[in-house]
């Protein structure tokens, strides 16, 4: 197979790539690597796409010596900026299996066994949500695509529902649909509003940073064409969980859709110590969680689920003569989001979860919550630092008393360059702050505290 009449002998190309993959799966990524400018890369790489090809040795050399080192490690235990990743070695390894198997995961007909396994993972998430048999979902590339799919289904479903209810605007079909979310919602929600051609209604949050049903109701009275509200279960900047229970109650009184963006924090549904923050989620209409964030899977992976999957099927089913030939009873992943051909990207999570079991996952998530509490406790008691919010999940936001934005940058860059700690400045209510997002069970919180104690005084 490695020697083809057409491509020639690919033995070396295969061996070099797979050897690198094995070595890297074992070692994990190097925290000292960082991005470079395209100018620098142009100098080091030159032209890599040529009419006669570079050959395997040179192409792999470019990747391992130049290109990969010009990326930033997202899964180092001391990478606490953005929302990092922390894939298990088993999940990373299985991603190579998914590639090798090269299954078309869009249709049951093509991907049955693989999709079945993905659905068992979704079944676990469904049980955490308290959803029943009617619920279903699929895996898409990331939270942005997951949110877009859920909100597209929301718009289609609510439009149809209002039409059936005979809800009109001055005797005409309703136009000017609006999407409600808090000022703290993820930036992708605004992009999605642009794509769906709907206006955003931004709702103020309470003093603790939560969107509440009370504030939603005010917005609904003023904006009768709001078709959906996005509540965030774990905001990216501060890890706050909106008041889902009151939001769902108000939203359903007004016949609108509730989407829960749990891209980062949805994983904490599995953690008993914070489970109470998610009260009411069993009544939400759709939900996403990114396993590439806090469920220990590699990039890229987002689970999007609907409490009643038929709404998604009505929205997304693609009909074409060559597709309809497969007349079977199974639900196709392509019927549940905006995609047709797809990689079975839920499988690395399936493999890792099947190996370790859900209890281990619970413990791994709790570990990061404990770490964030310990770190917050240190900051609260220290004289030079200020804790800005009690962490609800695992993001700690704080300030160094008296520092200017330049001092934050300098401090952050120095630690990043040394590969000691990745902690980047952010903003809270216009003020420069620091945030630490704990999601890796291997993060040594005492080491983090030691750094804060010795480098910030
Ligand atoms: C990360 C994040 C997203 C976007 O997810 P991607 O996978 O990066 O597209 C959306 N919402 C929240 C709350 C997030 O933390």
Read off the pTM: 0.96
- Predicted confidence at residue 171, as pLDDT, reads 76
Q: Kindly give, in sequence order, each residue whose CB lies less than 8 Å from that of residue 78, ignoring residues fewer than 6 positions away.
A: 31, 419, 420, 421, 422, 443, 444, 447, 448
Whether 232 is in the pocket of ligand 1, judged by its Cβ within 6 Å, is: yes
pLDDT over 60 (residue 262)? yes
Residue nearest to atom 12 of ligand 1 (CA): 263
The pLDDT of residue 325 is 56
Q: Give me the sign of the Cα torsion angle 78, 79, 81, 84.
A: negative
Whole-number pLDDT of residue 29: 87
Say how far apart CA 121 and CA 98 lie, in whole Å. 16
Cα angle for residues 302, 93, 110 (degrees, 5° grid): 60
Model pLDDT for residues 304-353, shown as the tens digit of each residue: 999 999 999 999 997 766 655 555 579 999 999 999 999 999 999 999 99
Can you count the helices (H) and strands (E) in the chain? 16, 13
Sign of CA dihedral 366, 386, 79, 445: negative
Q: How far apart are CA 373 and CA 390, in angstroms?
A: 8
C-alpha 283/C-alpha 249 separation (Å) is: 9
CA distance 312 to 336: 5
State the chain's mean pLDDT as an integer: 95
142 ligand 1 Cβ < 6 A: yes
Kindly give the residue spans of alpha helices, DSSP state H, lying in 62-205. Answer: 89-101, 108-129, 143-164, 187-196
Residue 93 CA: distances (Å) to CA of 85, 98, 267: 15, 9, 22
166 alpha carbon to ligand 1 midpoint, in Å? Answer: 36
Q: Is 139 in the pocket of ligand 1 (CB under 6 A)?
A: no
CB 286 within 8 A of CB 310: no
Q: Are 387 and 380 in contact (CB under 8 A)?
A: yes
Ligand 1 centre to CA of 115 (Å) is: 24
Predicted confidence (pLDDT) per residue in 161-198, tens digit: 999 988 877 777 788 999 999 999 999 999 999 999 99
Place of tokens 């992943």: 333
For residue 206, give the 3-state DSSP assignment.
Answer: coil
Handedness of CA 129, 269, 191, 348 (dihedral sign): negative
For a substitution probing ligand 1, which of 186, 189, 295, 395 has the most ligand atoms within 8 Å of its CB? 186
Mutate to test the pocket of ligand 1, among 74, 139, 142 (most ligand atoms within 8 A of CB): 142
Please work out whether the CB of residue 155 comes within 6 Å of at least one atom of ligand 1: no
C-alpha 19 – ligand 1 centre gap (Å): 32
What average pLDDT score do residues 424-434 get?
96
- Find the 186 Cα to ligand 1 centroid distance in Å: 7
* First-to-final CA distance of the chain: 62
H helix intervals, 1-55: 11-27, 38-45
Residue whose C-alpha is closest to residue 139's, from 324, 33, 289, 321: 289
* Cβ of 302 less than 6 Å from ligand 1: yes
pLDDT at 46: 96
Query: In this structure, how many other beta carbons lie within 10 angstroms of the beta carbon of residue 376?
Result: 21
Check if 181 has its Cβ closer than 6 Å to any atom of ligand 1.
no
155: left (phi over 0), alpha (psi -120 to 50) or beta: alpha
pLDDT, tens digit (0-9, with 9 covering 90-100), for 346-396? 999 999 999 999 999 999 999 999 999 999 999 999 999 999 999 999 999
Beta carbon of 436 within 6 Å of any ligand 1 atom:
no
Note the pLDDT tens digit of each residue in 23-63: 999 999 888 888 999 999 999 999 999 999 999 999 999 99
In angstroms, what is the span from residue 22 Cα to ligand 1's centroid? Answer: 29
Average pLDDT over residues 226-248: 98
Which pLDDT score is estimated for 326?
Answer: 52
Read off the DSSP letter of residue 164: H
Residues 99-113 as b/e (b if ≥16 CB within 10 A, e otherwise) read eeeebbbbbbebbee
pLDDT at 146 over 60: yes
pLDDT above 90: percentage of residues in the chain:
90
- Between CA 457 and CA 454 the distance in angstroms is 6
Q: Among 195, 264, 295, which is best to mutate for testing ligand 1, by the most ligand atoms less than 8 A from CB?
A: 264
- Rounded CA gap, 441 and 202, in Å? 35
What average pLDDT does the segment 287-312 reach?
Answer: 98
Which helix (H) or strand (E) segment holds residue 286: the answer is strand 286-289
413, 420 contact by CB (below 8 A): no
At 174, which helix (H) or strand (E)? none
Q: Which helix (H) or strand (E) holds 302?
A: strand 302-306
């Amino acid at each position: 197979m490695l020697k083809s009449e057409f491509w020639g002998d690919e033995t070396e190309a295969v061996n070099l790539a797979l050897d690198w993959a094995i070595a890297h799966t074992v070692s994990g990524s190097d925290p000292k690597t960082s991005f470079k400018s395209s100018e620098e890369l142009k100098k080091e790489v030159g032209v890599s796409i040529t009419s006669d090809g570079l050959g395997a040795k040179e192409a792999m050399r470019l990747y391992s010596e130049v290109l990969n080192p010009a990326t930033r490690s997202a899964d180092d235990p001391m990478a606490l900026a953005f929302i990092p990743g922390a894939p298990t070695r088993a999940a990373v390894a299985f991603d190579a299996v998914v590639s090798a198997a090269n299954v078309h995961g869009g249709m049951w007909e093509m991907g049955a066994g693989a999709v079945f396994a993905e659905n068992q993972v979704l079944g676990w998430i469904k049980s955490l949500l308290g959803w029943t048999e009617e619920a279903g979902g699929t895996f898409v590339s990331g939270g942005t695509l997951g949110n877009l799919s859920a909100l597209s289904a929301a718009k289609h479903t609510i439009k149809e529902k209002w039409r059936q209810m005979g809800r009109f605007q001055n005797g005409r079909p309703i136009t000017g649909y609006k999407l409600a979310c808090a000022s703290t919602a993820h930036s992708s929600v605004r992009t999605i509003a642009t794509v769906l051609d709907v206006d955003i209604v931004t709702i103020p949050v309470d003093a603790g940073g939560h969107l509440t049903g009370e504030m939603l109701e005010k917005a609904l009275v003023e904006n009768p064409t709001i078709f959906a509200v996005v509540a965030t279960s774990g905001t990216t900047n501060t890890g706050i969980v909106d008041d889902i229970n009151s939001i769902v109650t108000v939203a359903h009184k007004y016949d609108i859709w509730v989407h829960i963006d749990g891209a980062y924090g949805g994983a904490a549904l599995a953690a008993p110590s914070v489970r109470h923050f998610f009260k009411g989620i069993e009544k939400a209409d759709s939900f996403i969680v990114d396993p590439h964030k806090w469920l220990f899977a590699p990039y890229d992976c987002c689970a999007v689920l609907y409490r009643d999957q038929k709404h998604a099927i009505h929205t997304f089913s693609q009909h074409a003569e060559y597709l309809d030939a497969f007349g079977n009873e199974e639900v196709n992943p392509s019927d549940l989001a905006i995609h047709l051909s797809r990689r079975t990207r839920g499988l690395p999570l399936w493999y890792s979860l099947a190996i370790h079991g859900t209890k281990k996952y619970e413990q791994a998530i709790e570990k990061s919550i404990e770490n964030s509490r310990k770190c917050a406790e240190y900051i609260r008691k220290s004289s030079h630092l200020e804790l800005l919010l009690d962490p609800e999940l695992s993001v700690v936001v704080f300030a160094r008393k008296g520092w200017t934005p330049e001092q934050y940058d300098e401090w952050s860059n120095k630690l990043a360059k040394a590969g000691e700690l990745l902690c980047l400045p952010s903003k809270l209510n216009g003020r420069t702050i620091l945030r630490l997002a704990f999601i890796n069970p291997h993060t040594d919180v005492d080491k983090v505290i030691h750094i804060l104690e010795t480098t910030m005084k």
